[in-house]
Amino acid sequence: MTPKFQIQNLMAGFRERQILAGISLEIPPRGVTSIIGPSGCGKTTLIRCLNRMHEMDPEAYRTGTVLLDGQNLYHEDADPVLVRRRIGMVFQTPNPFPNMSIRENVLAGLRFRGRARTATNNNVVEDALRQAGLWNEVRDVLDGRSKILSEGQRQRLCIARLLAVQPEVLLMDEPAASLDPVATARIEDLIHNLKSDYTIVMVTHDMKQAARVSDHTAFFLNGELIEFDTSNRLFTSPRDPRTEAYITGRFG
């Protein structure tokens, strides 16, 4: 299987502070890969390097390469804006635009890119909301403000907004961290549904969630990739004692 991402000797950090210490990792396509590890291990920095968001911090640095379908995302001709279109990100706290309606929120990404067209807008909105598992809950209030939605619905609205621009990859940074168990279950169900069409890379502190949702898992520690394997293997019989210590709570 040709990997979706090929990460080669990726080093990244801020000024003198190194966070990623030469990561090499291949992420398979059309599936969920979870990145786990203790706070400060470089999980978020890694996924922010995957869609070139890391470099938006003026103090950030990076060396090494990230290939998406064999193309170097950091090639001098690669446009970071186009990269972020292909590789969208869902954040820990849902961030819909509060003064926009639900419909406008879904179309926001397209409007920013000048691709929203009235004739197809309704289809785009419905398709994206259906994919995000939100259509049946909001179909009658599409012109209401997003603030009428629950936290879990707002997170799915953000995912719908992302899906409307038809990305290839979804990066998720603790997508259910702020949600209650029912809303979390809906997000996990949504991830299960989306993984046949998208490559999903998810950062999570919740190992149980990583075990439930992901096909592959990478364990990071102090900026290093310690172990990458199928989630079935990694959560039952990890090869590295540091992974074993972390997943069984014998850490620190």
Of residues 17 and 250, the one with the C-beta less far from other proteins: 250
Interaction of residue 230 with other proteins, rule CB under 8 A: yes
Q: Which of residues 184-213 bind other proteins (CB under 8 A)?
A: 207-208, 211
With a CB cutoff of 8 Å and minimum separation 6, the contacts of 117 are none
Query: What is each CA distance from 91 to 48, 70, 156, in whole angstroms?
Result: 11, 26, 11
Tokens of 2: 């040709």
CA 14 to chain centre: 22
Structure tokens at 125: 């909105």
75 CB contacts (<8 Å, ≥6 apart)? Answer: none
Return the range that interacts with other proteins (CB under 8 A); candidates 6-14, 41-49, 66-74, 242-250.
242-250
Separation of alpha carbons 128 and 107, rounded Å: 9
d(CA 152, CA 180): 8
User: Applying CB under 8 A, does 250 fall inside the site for other proteins?
Assistant: yes
Task: Name the strand (E) or helix (H) holding 187.
Answer: helix 181-194
- Is 70 one of the binding residues for other proteins (CB under 8 A)? no
Nearer to other proteins, 160 or 226 (CB): 226
Q: How far is the CB of 185 from other proteins (least distance, A)?
A: 15
A 10 A CB-CB count for 48 gives 21
Asked if 251 contacts 69 with a C-beta cutoff of 8 angstroms, the reply is no
Asked if residue 228 binds other proteins (CB under 8 A), the reply is: no
Q: Is 181 in the site for other proteins (CB under 8 A)?
A: no
Nearer to other proteins, 9 or 236 (CB): 236
40 binds other proteins (CB under 8 A): no
Closer residue to other proteins in complex, CB, 137/229: 229
Q: How many residues at the interface with other proteins, by CB under 8 A?
A: 21
Q: Which amino acid is at 244?
A: E
Q: Candidates 57-65, 81-89, 156-164, 235-243: pick the segment binding other proteins (CB under 8 A).
A: 235-243
Shortest reach from residue 101's CB to other proteins, in Å? 40
Interface stretch with other proteins, choices 20-28, 45-53, 132-140, 228-236 (CB under 8 A)? 228-236
106: helix, strand or coil: helix
Interface residues toward other proteins, by CB under 8 A:
207-208, 211, 229-230, 232-233, 235-238, 241, 243-245, 247-252
